[in-house]
Amino acid sequence: MDNQLLYQLFNDVVETCEILGLEVSECSSAKDYLPNIPPPQIGSKGQILEWRQDYDEVEPGHRHMSPLWGLYPGKQMTPLTSQAYAKASEVLLGNRMRNGSGSTGWSRAWVINLYARLFLGDTAWSSIVSFIQKYPSNNLWNSDNGPGTAFQIDGNYGLTAGIAEILLQSHGVVHLLPALPSSVPNGSVKGLVARGNFVVDMDWSDMALTSASITSRSGGQLALRVQDDSGFMIDGSEYTGPINTTIGATYRVARTN
């Protein structure tokens, strides 16, 4: 986990320097340091390794998902960044869940977000249902192990983050409906905010995006992806790559098929 944190930190510094046009020593130092950070390792079972070596797990169903920080909330191991790391993340996550992980409210909330990042909407939805059935108290506060046990607000935040994550992701590209569950084939959402300060409203029907509007609150470039990379148009023109946006302007998205 520490290497994943460092990888994200120094990449964020480099990205910040590029966006702001900074030319200071910290920018070049961060870029120079990145190659020194060991990448995630894949173990004998095809899983992301938690430790430097492929140890037998003492508690294979442990509630913590620290080895998968680079999948969520980081982006190093997401499918659009690395298919190999994403697959290995799925192996570790599946093994944890088969052995009883997700056993507290906050842990289950983390699981929802991890499955959403893997574009496994139905599995994420199953954990949403499990969370709601077990962990909220009568006032909807998340609990450690069901009503009457310790209140842990990270479960509430994590659940709402996970629901947003199945509908919109924006690490590198604004991705509409990346992990839509089959249990929610029709619906709409308003006011989700993507990285870059883009406000997203969208409708879907029969498991497919019907329309979306994206309002740019800060200007800047908008890179866009719809579901499983389906074709789409922006303001009536076929999308072929990132577009430069104007502050306050709204862009209409519609599928081409």
Residues 52 and 149 in one domain: yes
Q: What is the DSSP letter of 226?
A: E
Last residue of a domain, one of 168, 187, 220: 168
The string of DSSP letters for 181-219 reads -TT--SEEEEEEEETTTEEEEEEEETTEEEEEEEEESS-
Residues 186 and 134 in one domain: no
pLDDT digits (tens, 9 = 90+) for 199-248: 999 999 999 999 999 999 999 999 999 999 989 999 999 999 999 999 99
Residues 83 and 134 in one domain: yes
User: Has residue 26 been placed in a domain?
Assistant: no
Contact assessment for residue 176 and residue 84, using Cβ atoms and an 8 Å cutoff: no
pLDDT digits (tens, 9 = 90+) for 176-196: 999 999 999 999 999 999 999
238 forms bridges with which residues in the sheet?
233
C-beta neighbour count of 228 within 10 angstroms: 9
Cα–Cα distance measured from residue 76 to residue 5, given in angstroms and rounded to the nearest whole number: 10
Structural domain span for residue 66? 39-168
Cα–Cα distance measured from residue 255 to residue 208, given in angstroms and rounded to the nearest whole number: 9
User: Has residue 14 been placed in a domain?
Assistant: no
User: Has residue 225 been placed in a domain?
Assistant: yes
Give me the CATH number covering residue 208: 2.60.40.1180
Residues 164 and 178 in one domain: no
Q: Provide the domain count of the chain.
A: 2
pLDDT digits (tens, 9 = 90+) for 97-129: 999 999 999 999 999 999 999 999 999 999 999
Smallest CA-to-CA distance from 195 within 157, 221, 226 is with: 221
Residues 153 and 197 in one domain: no
